[in-house]
Amino acid sequence: MRKLICICCLLMMTTNIQANDQETVSLSRCIDGDTAAFLVNGKEEKVRFLAINAPEYTKKKERYGKESSAYVCDKLEAAEAISLEYEPSNKRDKYDRLLAWVFVDGELLQEELVEEGLAEVKYIYGDYAYTDMLYEKEAVAKKQKLNMWSDEEDDPWYYITIAGIIVLMILVVLFKQKGKKRSLNRLSKELKKRI
């Protein structure tokens, strides 16, 4: 028996699996792409998803913020089971939100968001359980230019902005030329009077 326990411990160490406890919760409300409120032991708690940062779509509107928020909300609202897993090193952030890995029907939500290019790996303050896997998923999403990793030129607002700048420059040049013509007309009238 002792040998079996040692073998299991060795396997867990070599595969980088950490056996953190998971706590079953229920959704209270969606907030954005990296935060939600859950009922934890009968109390509503805001939970910040560990190790990721999603584009904003609450006060500030960032590219793919709407898509990230919608993805999270759809997943959480359709879930049959939601559980949180905490890192022993830190359980709350400076805003008193719980920090957790979020599992939806057994799948890690952070992994799905990073894999879809709807969040980036960020805010790593320790040796967290799933960060290596997240970095791998992020590299693939960047390579495939998924969502937030897509080129800026693919965004239609990029072209609209460039067109607006060009039109503005043309108008400035035209007004300057019109102003010069007026000045030349006045100058020629003054010269004719004096001659």
Ordered by start, the domain boundaries in the chain are: 21-150, 155-194
Q: Of these residues, 45, 48, 120, 138, which one is catalytic? A: 48
Model confidence, pTM: 0.68
Provide the token pair at 148. Answer: 């937030």
Q: Of these residues, 56, 85, 87, 111, which one is catalytic? A: 56
Q: Of these residues, 97, 112, 116, 136, which one is catalytic? A: 97
Topology of domain 21-150, CATH: OB fold (Dihydrolipoamide Acetyltransferase, E2P) (2.40.50)
Provide the token pair at 115. Answer: 């894999």
Backbone φ and ψ of 119, nearest 5° = -160, 155
Q: For this structure, is 48 an active site residue?
A: yes
Alpha-carbon gap, residue 141 to 144, rounded angstroms: 5
Tens digit of pLDDT for each residue in 5-40? Answer: 343 343 333 333 344 789 999 999 999 999 999 999
Using the Cα atoms of residue 163, residue 143, residue 109 and residue 44 in order, give the sign of their dihedral.
negative
Backbone φ and ψ of 77, nearest 5° = -70, -30
Residue with tokens 């359709």: 78
